[in-house]
Amino acid sequence: MLVRDIFRLSFHNLLLHKIRSLLTSLGVIFGVGSVISMLAISEGAKRQALEQIEAMGIDKIIVYSKPPALEGKDATSGQDASSVQSYGLTVKNRDYLRDFENVDMVTTMRNARKVILKGTRRLDVKVVSTDKEFLDETNSRIVEGRWLSTVDSKNKAMVCVIGRDVKRKLFALGGGSVIGEGITVENAIFQVVGVIENNLGTTFPELGSPNDMILIPSGTSEAVFGFYSVIREGRRGNIFNVEADVLIIKVSDISYIDNTAKRISSYLERERGESKDWGIQVPLDLLRQKEETQNIFTIVMGSIAGISLIVGGIGIMNIMLANVYERRKEIGTRRALGAKKRDILAQFLIETVFLTSLGGVIGIGVGLVISQIVARYADWPIAVSHFGILLSISISGVVGVVFGTYPAWKAAQQNPIDALRSE
């Protein structure tokens, strides 16, 4: 029997039972749909997490100050109306690290710990002094005005650059320009000279996102505020003495970044003693760990979705077995007219593979729709990969072969005389 005749006969039989064919494919449709949607959701989450880590720079080491833990004590017990809290990294530490081998640059960030108000409402905004390298080292960009210059710091200019979200919180001007506007920080007034934004999700320990910062020149901060910051809550006041909150250390050779991080840790452990008032992050290590975690998550999600494909395949096998017994007269007639076992085997196998492949194609559409619904209403990132689509189509074809072989073999083994005698 010619191959084209086997295909024509298989498709003709499927078209004679359209509803049954569609219902047979439902298991594969929803199985492939779940595979596509789950892989898209997990891949979207993976890419978002990795982009946020990469935004910090895989050639960077982040060293930061953190308040030391108060073991067994209440944070306010035994304190006077005003208390001084000195902790964290110092200028001396920063200068020493600049001379380290494999250290190319050290960018300093310091939280001035000033309260920013809009009317009587306290805003979640930080006043941070930094260097001119900050913009490039944090993958941020100027969207309005200019960036802080070396001259601003040297001349102690009363200027600032604000983050995108600070503009919205303080001025709420929509698309209007805020260049030249003034921002009052305690008794000082800073003129806005630029607006930056960071769309990569970059965040820093204890400081947060550049989008929520008012950035001022380091020279201006030291001249106006010094290193001591007073925060008052009611009658109680706390004085903080932190010389550097975050040091962004850029390495010259990324292949030695782990060794450099270990040397920095050893130096700070020796220098800071038992204070435990500092921490260190290596974005490259975080990237590796996150990739491993996300890969495991993707495998688990794909496996769960794959189970539904197996269930759909078992359903197809059961229906095709029932189909064999329903069509025993057809099989007997064809065998009596000269059809060989391999012709019967090929016909039923083609029918099964076509049903699963069609279900795979429809399932891809279902998966894409589910992914878009999740992205829109759950506000989750999604990323549909061509690999996932090809994998789903391939799996659906394999399911057809695996679960269609036995019913096809069973059909081919039918005795034509017994088949013709059956009612």
Q: What tens digit of pLDDT does each residue of 316-353 get?
A: 787 777 777 777 777 777 777 777 888 878 877 888 88
Is the distance from CB of 315 to CB of 382 less than 8 angstroms?
no
The angle that helices 18-56 and 3-16 make with each other, rounded to 10 degrees, is: 100
Cα–Cα–Cα angle for 134, 135, 136, rounded to 5 degrees: 95
User: For residue 76, what pLDDT is reported?
Assistant: 44
Q: What tens digit of pLDDT does each residue of 360-408 get?
A: 888 888 888 988 888 888 777 788 777 778 877 787 778 778 877 887 7
Query: Band of the pLDDT at 232, cuts 50, 70, 90?
Result: low
User: For residue 175, what pLDDT is reported?
Assistant: 67
Residue 275 predicted with pLDDT over 90: no
Picking from 113, 203, 110, the residue whose alpha carbon sits closest to that of residue 153 is 110
pTM of this structure: 0.61
User: For residue 56, what pLDDT is reported?
Assistant: 66
Task: Look at 249 and 285; give whichever has higher pLDDT.
Answer: 249
Task: Determine how many CB atoms are found less than 10 A away from the CB of residue 18.
Answer: 9
Query: Band of the pLDDT at 79, cuts 50, 70, 90?
Result: very low
Residue 261 predicted with pLDDT over 80: yes
Query: Band of the pLDDT at 82, cuts 50, 70, 90?
Result: low
User: For residue 390, what pLDDT is reported?
Assistant: 81
Residue 194 predicted with pLDDT over 80: yes
**DSSP-assigned beta bridge partners for residue 188:** 185
Query: Band of the pLDDT at 297, cuts 50, 70, 90?
Result: confident
Q: What tens digit of pLDDT does each residue of 126-163 get?
A: 999 999 889 888 888 999 999 999 999 999 999 999 99
Residue 73 predicted with pLDDT over 60: no
User: For residue 258, what pLDDT is reported?
Assistant: 87
**DSSP-assigned beta bridge partners for residue 216:** 129
